[in-house]
Amino acid sequence: MTLVIRGGTIINADASRRADILVEDGTIRAVGDDLEAPAGAEVIDAGGQYVMPGGIDPHTHMQLPFMGTVASEDFYTGTAAGLAGGTTMIIDFVIPSPDQALMEAYQTWRGWAEKACADYSFHVAVTWWGDGVADDMGTLVREEGINSFKHFMAYKGAIMAEDEVLYNSFCRARELGAIVTAHAENGELVYQLQKKLLAEGRTGPDAHPLSRPPAAEGEAANRAARLAEVIGVPLYLVHVSTEDALDEIVRARLAGQRVYGEALAGHLLIDDSVYKNPDFDAAAAHVMSPPFRAKLHQDALWKGLQSGNLQTTATDHCCFCADQKAMGKDDFTRIPNGTAGIEDRLAVLWTHGVNTGRLTKEEFVAVTSANAAKIFNIYPRKGRIAVGADADIVVWDPAASKTISAKTHHQNVDYNIFEGMQVTGLASHTISQGKLRYANGDLRTHKGDGRYIKRPAFKS
């Protein structure tokens, strides 16, 4: 397919300009003024609109087996919803069970992802340690294009990585030229607080944030950063939700460490009052970890994005419907953790970031696409409008508006954490691999159209 995008203003993370774009064979072939449309080319009129790199969501969990159930969103429905909102690539997570070979788990997730309709890649979690883990990490880096390894510092008794695992995995990642990522919460503290609250009869969703206080995240962020400092490996902290954790990132970066932070769209816009809703379904719908926080933490996260101390935005998209959340009706620790957001991330960040003056348009591109591509070593193939880059493009109408609702979204879940939010600024067209996949409300996706994207190590 040949496309010409005409009349728009191109927004990259470092500059903006008015220009046309020629797309052929899945690649951007030309960027310039008044480009001639080849015979048979489809022309998209982007007059009055912005043309930006497609969003990259570096943190999703499609089809995840978790807490006794499986996430309702699979790799097809999730990537389709992403395309409807302007996201053209995800980086999901392979999560081996304790004692399971990393390569075995990786092959399972690759099989599940074959139905994806947009490009995808994986982080691989290290949930235990042994010689086989070290060997598999090497194979994943050298042969499979994995350059990031995830560590859950929470979920005791399940997938939590103790300090010994962190140390060995961090050292191996450094040898391989990979980056380590961490879910920073003190798992032992969370476990003890959960037991205490249940013993006190606090069984509802309102106890969830009490069991995971900001200090638990700050402590774990400090521990991960200090380990990374001693070992000499770059660190990426996922879903930073507190000023406490952000302070640790700032401290480490001022000391010269390569420490990066990710903010979730939900954590930027939703506060912990949602857990006080007397309707169990409504409160449980918001149960995720780390939980939504008090408003002062939202203010800190926005400042983190504005200052560059937080580099990326994501969703931690992991959907569970009301009947699944009801598994924890009498015990908040059994409510499957996770919320949605892949379809709405760009719109809510544009509305509450660009439209409020918190972010420039260029900064918006940086935190929704370019920085993730740079940190995970796929830039400028992804994350930039430039000749030779993949034609993953979103045409953005800054005047379009809608009210977000579970009744109209494409996500395969029966609620929306942004329900009722009015947003202004929406994708009018989404192009993936040079093909028009979304056009003014018409979603044109097919199972299996997505490609697995290898990400090279940071050294040869």
- Helix ranges, 232-336 (H): 243-254, 265-269, 280-284, 295-307, 322-325
> Residue 1: what pLDDT?
84
With contact defined as beta carbons under 8 Å apart, do 172 and 137 qualify? yes
Q: What is the mean pLDDT of residues 316-343?
A: 97
Would you place residue 409 in the very low, low, confident or very high pLDDT band (cuts 50, 70, 90)? very high
Query: How far apart are the C-alpha atoms of 201 and 161, rounded to whole Å?
Result: 29
- The yes-or-no verdict on residue 113 having pLDDT over 60 is yes
pLDDT of residue 366: 98
Exposure on the CB side of residue 79, measured as CA atoms within 13 A:
30
- Number of Cβ within 10 Å of residue 200's Cβ equals 10
| Mean of pLDDT over the chain | 98
Confidence grade of residue 81 (pLDDT, cut at 50, 70, 90): very high
List, in sequence order, every beta strand (DSSP E) within 184-333: 235-237, 259-264, 312-314
Mean predicted confidence (pLDDT) in 276-302: 98
CB contact set of 227 (below 8 Å; sequence gap of 6+): 163, 166, 167, 170
- Residue 459's pLDDT band, with cuts at 50, 70 and 90, is confident
CA–CA dist 341, 81 (Å, integer): 9
Contact residues for 182 (Cβ-Cβ < 8 A; gap 6+): 150, 151, 152, 153, 166, 220, 221, 224, 235, 236, 237, 238
Using only C-alpha atoms, what is the Rg of the chain? 21
Give the mean model confidence (pLDDT) for residues 209-229. Answer: 98
Q: What's the confidence (pLDDT) of residue 131?
A: 87
By C-alpha distance, which of 217, 211, 157 is closest to 186?
A: 217
The whole-number pLDDT of residue 383 equals: 98
* 291 DSSP 8-state letter: P
222 with 182: CB under 8 angstroms? no
| 42 three-state secondary structure | strand
- In angstroms, the Cα distances linking 208 to 292, 314, 324, 330, 341 are 10, 22, 17, 13, 20
Q: At which residue do the structure tokens 């010689």 appear? A: 131
| pLDDT band, very low/low/confident/very high, at 402 (cuts 50, 70, 90) | very high
pLDDT score for 337: 96
Kindly tell me if the per-residue pLDDT of 460 is higher than 60: no
- Which stretches of 66-101 are DSSP H helices? 75-85
Q: Is the pLDDT of residue 428 over 80?
A: yes
Region 411-429: what's the mean pLDDT?
Answer: 98
Percent of the chain with pLDDT over 90: 99
| pLDDT, tens digit, 9 for 90 and up, residues 360-384 | 999 999 999 999 999 999 999 999 9
Tell me: pLDDT of 354 over 60. yes
pLDDT tens string 121-154: 999 999 999 989 999 999 999 999 999 999 999 9
pLDDT score of 251: 98
- Residue 9's DSSP bridge partners are 18, 50
CA 11 centroid distance within chain: 21
Cα(450)–Cα(460) distance, rounded to whole angstroms? 27
* CATH entry 3.30.70.20 includes domain 54-375: no
Average pLDDT of span 389-418: 98
Count of residues making up the chain? 460
> Which pair of tokens denotes residue 381?
């193939």
Query: Tens of pLDDT along 3-20?
Result: 999 999 999 999 999 999
Sheet holding 442-443, edge to edge: 16-18, 9-11, 50-53, 393-403, 422-432, 435-439, 442-443
- H-helix or E-strand spanning residue 344: none
Q: Does 86 score more than 80 pLDDT? A: yes
Please list the residues that pair with 94 across neighbouring strands.
124
Domain segments of the chain: what residues?
54-375
